[in-house]
Structure formats: structure tokens, C-alpha cells
Structure 1
Amino acid sequence: MSRDTTASLPTGLGRREFLAAASVGLSGGLAGCTGVFAAEGKQVNIAGSSTVFPVTEAVASAFSEENPTVNLSLSKTGTGGGFGNFFCAGRTDINNASRSIADAEVEQCGDNDITPIELQVATDALTVVVNPDADWVNCLTVEQLQQIWSADGVDRWSDLNEEWPDQEFELYGAATTSGTFDYFNEAILGEELNHRNDYYATERDRTIVQGVRGDEAAMGYFGFAYYSENPDTIKAVSIDNGNGCVEPSIETAKSGEYKPLSRPLFIYVAKESLAKPAVRDFVRFYMKRAATDLVSDVGYVPITEEQRDENLEKLDAKIEEVTG
């Protein structure tokens, strides 16, 4: 399992620089699950998707400014890693997820008396990126992406187009524990093709940024937020799903034009954890902020006010079941 914990807020992230100045006490790992905060019910433990991480991080920063006595522990483990190793094992209260929970994960949670509650928090435009010097490519068809990313697929740019450079791909993508991997696999490769395994697989999205900007022949994919942080050092590729090239953006994801790589993002909260006031307060706060510019500032599409109200209604009903 690849893991990237954050001991302090990031700096130099463009639109998100406000996070670095927030003076927020966010814990970077899951080691703080015990101790005074947990004993007082003021510990909220969160793991899961690196794609959803920036949204949760921004919400957590805002929450901690208003609730400095609550300790929030955030870790990037991948959606599947978060479900399997932490959330469904009863070690975390919330799992960030870039896909819906799988049946096997629901079963694992049930075996441990964990009841997952799904709440959509944003919409993402999963983004394929290349090196800025790759001036021969601005748009790829879904079929071309299949050729690149499928097992036994093509190995060189010239295999796609004889006018393109005779250079071997340097590929970076999500680890198999990632919801981004699962979604890309389903949306691009479908049921009949398998994702190639000879690529650099990581949960550290900024590693993908570094790899792509360091090699002219490189390509990677990840959530739009990580592209929006680095638009001058990597280049986003438009996708042609049969109706012409469409750029990944907040606008095209919101309108539904960006297909097939526009996807919902979620958090899952354990119903049992709603017995803790800190978890209840944080999730309520999250739902309200998920419908604001805080989400678009990170690089995703906020949920609608109607979705927010539905989330809050679902949440309040589950809280009532837990607290009586």
C-alpha cells in the first residue's frame, strides 16, 4: 500500500495557498487515533482517496479554524486501501472515495459492524496529462487511450501516428488500490481490456506531476485538481469520445460534456462514528461547504444546493438512529 501522509499544510499551490496560512492543527497520519483527543471524543480519523484528499483537506482547514479543539487526522491510502485497511476495519471514521464502495467492501464493513453512509461531495474531470513539449498531441480519442493503456498495447508515440515521434511512452498512473485506477479502467478500457502493468503506479499524485514534466514522452492521469495546480508545467489532453475534442475543466465536467472521464467524488462516514459529536459536527460542516466555492477553488465541481440538502437530510436521519 502506498501512503502519503501530510504533517503540515502544503505551500506554493496556486489557488490553494490560503491553506498554507491557515494555522490549522491537522495531524498527518493515523498514529493519533489514541490519546487525549480520542478519549474526549474529539478525534476524527480520515483516510482514502488521494483525489478527494484536496477537498477534505480544504474543508478540514476551514473546520479547524472554527473548532481548534478537534484533532483531524488525514492520510492518503487510495480508495481501496482506505476501505480495506482502515475504514472497514474500524480504524477510521471517514473514507475519501473516488468511486462507489464495492460489494466486497460492504461485506467486509458488515463483518466488522461498520455501516457505510455514502455522501457525494464533488464532481471531478479525471485528466490525462502530457509534457508541455509534446506539441504533437493536444487531443486523444478513447480508442487511442485504450491502445496506450491496455495490456499488450502500443509502446511508442509513433505506433499511434506515424507522424509522431518514435519515442517510447513513459507512463505514470494510479496504483491498483486507487479509485482513480478503477474508474479509468472502467471508463476507458471497459470489461474486455486489462490495464497494462508496466507503468509507474503511485498514490502520490505530485509524483505523477514530477514524472510527466521531466520527460517529453511521458503521460499520466489523475484528478483535475492536481492538473489545476500545475497548468504551466504539464499539459492537459482533450478527449474525443466520438463527438469531437473536449477539454477537461470544471465547466465541461459540470455540463456533462467531458465524457467518459467525468465522475462523482464521495466521502463515506461510518454510521457508528456519528455517535461522536466531533464526527457529526465535521460531516455536517463538510456537507455545507461542499456546495460552495471552496470546492471549485480546489479544482472540482461543487455539489448543488439540492444535493447538499439531500446529504444533510440523509445525515440527520442516520444521526437520529445512532443518538436516539
Structure 2
Amino acid sequence: MAPNFRRLMPLFMLLALLLPILVACGGAPAATPTDAPVAQATDAPAATAVPEPTAAPEATAEPEPTVAPEPTTPPATGDVVQLPEVNPADYSGDIIIAGSSTVFPLTERMAELFIEDGFTGQITIDSIGSGAGYERFCTAAESDIANASRPIRDTELAACETSGRPALEFRVGTDALAVVVSTENDFITNATIEELAEIFGTATNWSDVNSSWPNEPIQRFIPGTDSGTFDYFVEEVFDEDPAVMLSASNTQLSEDDNVLVQGILGSPYAIGFFGYAYYEENASRLNILDIEGVEPTAESTEDGSYPLARPLFIFSAANIMAEKPQVAAFINYYLTFVGDEVVDVGYFPASVNAINAAKNRWLQATGGEVEPIALPEVDPSAFSGDIIIAGSSTVFPLTERMAELFIEDGFTGQITIDSIGSGAGYERFCTAAESDIANASRPIRDTELAACETSGRPALEFRVGTDALAVVVSTENDFITNATIEELAEIFGTATNWSDVNSSWPNEPIQRFIPGTDSGTFDYFVEEVFDEDPAVMLSASNTQLSEDDNVLVQGILGSPYAIGFFGYAYYEENASRLNILDIEGVEPTAESTEDGSYPLARPLFIFSAANIMAEKPQVAAFINYYLTFVGDEVVDVGYFPASVRAINAAKTNWLEAN
């Protein structure tokens, strides 16, 4: 094992930048716009326990391969995120890990190092396959960390939610699936995807695939069906249908990759596949095949040219890390040092963007101090083309401001922004697939997410600010300055006259002006005031609805007995003519919206998709610009800034998509 000093030296050098651990729980600055032309529209192996040591354990020596690629860390497109320093000696207790046999050797290495550097507790790691690992973590709720060599499925995520442990993804590396034969095999060095489908499926003899190959039965050794390796191979080679491979003759399945290695070594006519690390351990006895003529290397796995490369993950949950600080500390340590170890174990590094995303999830889950992420610099003048945006009227003025600045700083294309409400914006983005960006003043719903998936544009969320709903009256109203949630339910629902709510108020009919039902503002108010049931409010007399907040403002200005609600920005525009109410005695301010004391505060979003940003680089550039400079503009527009954590999460989504 390498000495501790080698791994700790970077921490000493960065000490001035690091903060105490809390595991217990581009472009140039934009100028002010003038008249920017924005168009407005309208296996079953036994568990491996890493023992509680009295002295630092010796790491298991890794065999040196005869031939191995030289992986290099992929380049960063943003600053490297630093996590707070963690001292393993400060922690004890148990850490229970189960899942992918592919991720097993990497997690085992990080566990050994964590113990060597002082952890006095017990780390148990079960190699049982990704699916079984998710089951043990999500459904059985028996493990603290799940190793996985495939992304978590919606059903597994739902099981995690049901068991009270919402899964957090931490990307830790990249694996290339190795398709291997014995060194005694002298006839195959490369295979196409089509040939793999025959070799592992329809063919009986090697000569059935290629007449120049031996007329000998193919002997197949493949991972078990609960393995992420199995799932990934089936997805890439058999179009997600495993039936043919599972019915092929001479096929042996095992969750233990060592069993597969031994089987392949037994015959020159055997073939199998597993994680690259297991090839590395046996490189002197196995030959690895190129796939579609591409050798698995750090470059070919990162750039996507090698057809059988995949990400590696560990999963945990914020509440687990709060209840078991040793789990949070281990994940911190894992993410901090995995880049130093992943190549030696036999995998390729995850990109800096992916590791940054994992580190930011850790910071958000543990409440650690966060520094803003810097996105790559963009020059708006380098982009043209159209950008089509539609959705929330609340987010409209903020997006309009960012579009004006983007154009002022050189963008030569056309930006169209429709103010049609959050629901209609999601429909236009997800179902109609007619817009590039959706403005939204409420989170996207499961049905809308599914519509986005169906239309081939998986929605990515970018938090851009915080809005306080403003409940307002005319300055001619001299009797109401504060309202409770219960009073709001009467004012906008059951009461007819003001005096029905408070006998000291005028015996005059309440005139109500509210956003349209397709508005995120409407949804949010109904959720907070009417327990998600709009029926009473919609049936109240003297109620006018409009998706245009300016119509609501004009209505309220027309009478001292009128009242309405909309986004805070529209109050700001008319503050000299409107009075804003305190709610439950709390004034809407930056502090009260951020700390949650103001009852009617909500997040603001824009949504897009990775494939849209790839097809239309101007969209990616605009979102980058938006996230980079929104903090400079959001207050002037009339909203409150999103927290650094929320903006970092949005920037991380951008980095991962680009």
C-alpha cells in the first residue's frame, strides 16, 4: 500500500481552502441592457469483510498485466470541487455495502485505504450484482451503500422513496466491458456487435459466425442476470431482450467474475465478458477483443468510440449519512481519492464533471459549506440560430432579462419567449416538442417527465431563483396589512364580503383577481392555501382569472375592495400603487424566503434536455450564460437569488449534459 503521506499531501497543500467537515447530519460580466432585440410572443459469493484492524492492513497486491492501456484523467470543463477534509481516525462503527461485482474491487480498495488511514470500524462489502444491491439498499433497507454498474431504475428509485431512503447517485469511475478469450485462442481478435449477438446467442459453433473459424462449439461464460454487467451487455448487444442469450447452449452464468475467468481459461473455444478490472487481473492469461475495431482505452471509453463502456456508481441517502457519520466520511474519502486509485484497480477515471457532480451531491446531503462552481466561459457572439422558450409568466421577466443580456453581449440569433404558464410550457416542451427551454414556477410532475421521455427529450432541471408569491391590494385599501393562511382560504374561497372574514373589515364584496389554472402560481397557491383542491376558489363569486399578470394588476388597481396574488416581480413593478400583505406576520424578504419563514415562497426553474443542447449549441450556451450571471440580475428583476447549492446543482446538470 502506498504511504499515507502520498495521499494526504494534496490535502495539506489545499488546507487553506478546505472547511471543517460537517458529516453529521464564462463569459465577461454582462452589462446592463439597453434595447436588446428580444422577440416576445406571443452472485452468490460470500460477503467480504474488511476487518477491524489493530495495525494497518496490507493491501492485496494487484497482478501486473502484460498489456494494459494507459488511462489518463479526462480533462475538466469546470473547476475541481474540493470536499472538506475528513480524518478516518475520527470515525468508527459499521459500514454495510452491497451490489455490483464490477464496482466491488474499487470499493474494496477505497475501504482498505480508509482503514489504513485510521478508521477503526468494520466495513462489509457483498458482491451480489447491481440489481440485488439496489434491492438490499432500497427495498430491504439493509445496506448503507449500493455499488452499481448501471443507473438506478425508476422502480428502484420508487422503492428507495417508499423505504424512506431517497437514493443519491455518486459517479466513481468508468468501466469498459471486456469480451475475452483464452490466450490459446488464435482466431478471434475483434468482433462487431452483430457478431457478438451471434457468438452469445444464435450460433452453435464458431464457424456459424465466420467460416474461417473452427467448427467447434462455442462455450459461453456470462454474468448472472442480476448483474449490471449482464444488463448492460443485453442492452447494447441484444436490444434489451436477453431471451436468445439465455437460451443459447453451452452457457454458464455466475455472479462471481472469477468463476467466469476460470471457465474461459479452460478452453480455447470459450468466450465471456465482464468488467475490465477482471481482465486486468488476468491479462497474462486472457486476450481481450477489440469491438468494432476499437480498443478499450481511457480515450475510447471517454469519447464514446468504444461501444461497451459504462459508468460506475455508488449510492447512498442523506438520512443514512446523517444517522451514520462514518458512511458520510467514507463517501467523502472515496470521492476525494478515487482518482488516485481507479486506474490501478483496472478501470478508467470518471470525468471531472461527473466527480464534481458527485461531490456536490455529497455537500448538499451533508450540509457542508459550498463554493460556487464556475462554468466554462461562453462568448455569445460565437453563437447564432434560434432559441425558443415558453412557460411560466413568473419566470418570464427573469428569462427576458437574461436573453437581453445574451444578445447585448453578442448573440446574433433570435430568442422567442412565450408567457403561457408553467403547465402549458411543460406541454409545449415535453409533449409538443416545440420549444427548447421551458420556464417553470413549479417542479415538473411525473406525468410531464414521462411525456418528455416519450418525446425523446429527458428533462433537465436548472434552478434559477426564488419567488415569493405576493398577495396584494390597492393602496386605496386601508384595512388589511396581514393575513393568515386560514384567512386567505376564506378571502379567496368561502367568504363573499370582507366582513365575513373579519367583522372590522368593510361589508363590501371581495373582488378576486387570480392567475389562470395553467399557471404555476395558481398551482402553488392552491397547494399552500387550499390543500391542493382548487374547487372552492374556482367557484367563488367575483373571481377573474388570467394567465397575464398585468391584467390582474389592473383589476386590483380598480377597486379598494379587490385582492389578488402573483409573482413578487409583478408587485415590484407596481409597488407604488399596490400594498403587499405580510403572511402569518412575516414580510417577504430575501431572508424570509431563503430560511422558509415566509409561507408563500417557491423555487423558479428553467428546463431543457441534453440532446437539445447538443443539437442546438446556442441553447447550451444561453443556459450556461443564464446560470453564470443570473445571480447578478435576479434581485433587480424582482426575485430572490437561489442558494449557492441550488445554482451549483443546476450548473452540475449543465456540465453533465455537455
Q: TM-score, normalised by structure 1?
A: 0.83
What is the aligned partner in structure 1 of residue 629 from structure 2?
289
More contact order relative to length (CA 8 Å, sep ≥ 6): 1
Q: In structure 1, what is the Cα distance between the partners aligned to 2:629 and 2:546? A: 29
Q: Which amino acid aligns with 2:506?
A: P
Q: In structure 2, what is the Cα distance between the partners aligned to 1:77 and 1:191? A: 21
The yes-or-no answer on 1:204 pairing with 2:548 is yes
Deviations 1:43-89 (A, max 9, x none): 11000000011110111111111133121111101000111134431
C-alpha contact 2:395 2:605 (8 A) present in aligned 1: yes
What is the aligned partner in structure 2 of residue 230 from structure 1?
574
What is the aligned partner in structure 2 of residue 144 from structure 1?
487
What is the aligned partner in structure 2 of residue 34 from structure 1?
none
Cα offset for 1:195?
Answer: 4.4
Q: In structure 2, what is the Cα distance between the partners aligned to 1:144 and 1:215? A: 20
Deviations 1:146-183 (A, max 9, x none): 11223xx1111010111211110110011000011110
What is the aligned partner in structure 1 of residue 450 from structure 2?
107
What is the aligned partner in structure 1 of residue 345 from structure 2?
none
Q: In structure 2, what is the Cα distance between the partners aligned to 1:120 and 1:284? A: 12
Q: Which amino acid aligns with 1:289?
A: F
What is the aligned partner in structure 1 of residue 397 from structure 2?
54
What is the aligned partner in structure 2 of residue 28 from structure 1?
40
- Three-state SS of the structure 2 residue aligned to 1:163 is coil
Residues 131 and 206 (structure 1), Cα distance of their counterparts in 2 relative to 1, 3 Å cut: same
Residues 193 and 51 (structure 1), Cα distance of their counterparts in 2 relative to 1, 3 Å cut: closer
Q: In structure 1, what is the Cα distance between the partners aligned to 2:498 and 2:477? A: 10
Cα offset for 1:305?
Answer: 3.5
What is the aligned partner in structure 1 of residue 281 from structure 2?
none
Q: In structure 2, what is the Cα distance between the partners aligned to 1:174 and 1:194? A: 14
The yes-or-no answer on 1:123 pairing with 2:466 is yes
Q: In structure 2, what is the Cα distance between the partners aligned to 1:315 and 1:193? A: 36
Residues 28 and 192 (structure 1), Cα distance of their counterparts in 2 relative to 1, 3 Å cut: closer
Cα offset for 1:187?
Answer: 0.8
The yes-or-no answer on 1:266 pairing with 2:605 is yes
Cα offset for 1:139?
Answer: 0.5
C-alpha contact 1:250 1:296 (8 A) present in aligned 2: no
C-alpha contact 2:392 2:421 (8 A) present in aligned 1: yes
* 1:249 aligned to which of 589, 598, 603: 589
Q: In structure 1, what is the Cα distance between the partners aligned to 2:536 and 2:602? A: 19
Q: In structure 2, what is the Cα distance between the partners aligned to 1:95 and 1:246? A: 31
* 1:184 aligned to which of 522, 525, 538: 525
Q: Which amino acid aligns with 2:464?
A: V
Q: In structure 1, what is the Cα distance between the partners aligned to 2:609 and 2:536? A: 32
The yes-or-no answer on 1:315 pairing with 2:654 is yes
Q: Which amino acid aligns with 2:416?
A: S
- Three-state SS of the structure 1 residue aligned to 2:450 is helix
Cα offset for 1:41?
Answer: 6.4
Taking the TM superposition and a 5 Å limit, the aligned residue runs for 1:36-115 are: 42-115=385-458
Residues 51 and 195 (structure 1), Cα distance of their counterparts in 2 relative to 1, 3 Å cut: farther
- RMSD of equivalent CA atoms: 1.7
Q: In structure 1, what is the Cα distance between the partners aligned to 2:638 and 2:440? A: 16
C-alpha contact 1:122 1:266 (8 A) present in aligned 2: yes
Q: In structure 2, what is the Cα distance between the partners aligned to 1:205 and 1:193? A: 19
Q: In structure 2, what is the Cα distance between the partners aligned to 1:28 and 1:291? A: 23
The yes-or-no answer on 1:299 pairing with 2:638 is yes
C-alpha contact 2:477 2:560 (8 A) present in aligned 1: yes
Q: In structure 2, what is the Cα distance between the partners aligned to 1:118 and 1:26? A: 23
Q: In structure 1, what is the Cα distance between the partners aligned to 2:620 and 2:533? A: 42
C-alpha contact 1:127 1:237 (8 A) present in aligned 2: yes
Cα offset for 1:251?
Answer: 3.5
Residues 77 and 193 (structure 1), Cα distance of their counterparts in 2 relative to 1, 3 Å cut: closer
Q: Which amino acid aligns with 1:300?
A: Y
What is the aligned partner in structure 2 of residue 173 from structure 1?
514
Greater Cα radius of gyration, structure 1 or 2: 2
Cα offset for 1:97?
Answer: 0.3
Percent of counterpart pairs with the same letter? 36
C-alpha contact 2:527 2:533 (8 A) present in aligned 1: no
C-alpha contact 2:384 2:412 (8 A) present in aligned 1: no
Deviations 1:86-130 (A, max 9, x none): 443110010100000111111222221121101110011111001
C-alpha contact 1:124 1:300 (8 A) present in aligned 2: yes
C-alpha contact 1:87 1:93 (8 A) present in aligned 2: no
Residues 24 and 41 (structure 1), Cα distance of their counterparts in 2 relative to 1, 3 Å cut: closer
Unaligned runs of 5+ in 1: 1-17, 31-39, 320-324
- Three-state SS of the structure 1 residue aligned to 2:535 is coil
Q: Which amino acid aligns with 1:172?
A: F
* 2:617 aligned to which of 266, 274, 277: 277
Q: In structure 1, what is the Cα distance between the partners aligned to 2:518 and 2:533? A: 20
C-alpha contact 1:250 1:299 (8 A) present in aligned 2: no
- Three-state SS of the structure 2 residue aligned to 1:147 is helix
C-alpha contact 1:291 1:304 (8 A) present in aligned 2: no
Residues 195 and 104 (structure 1), Cα distance of their counterparts in 2 relative to 1, 3 Å cut: farther
Unaligned runs of 5+ in 2: 1-31, 43-382
Question: What is the number of equivalent residue pairs in this alignment?
Answer: 283
Q: Which amino acid aligns with 2:508?
A: Q
Q: In structure 1, what is the Cα distance between the partners aligned to 2:476 and 2:396? A: 29
Q: In structure 2, what is the Cα distance between the partners aligned to 1:53 and 1:228? A: 14
Q: In structure 1, what is the Cα distance between the partners aligned to 2:536 and 2:656? A: 40
Q: Which amino acid aligns with 1:179?
A: G
Q: In structure 2, what is the Cα distance between the partners aligned to 1:267 and 1:26? A: 18
Moved more, 192-201 or 282-291: 192-201
Q: Which amino acid aligns with 2:424?
A: G
- Three-state SS of the structure 2 residue aligned to 1:291 is helix
Q: In structure 1, what is the Cα distance between the partners aligned to 2:450 and 2:523? A: 19
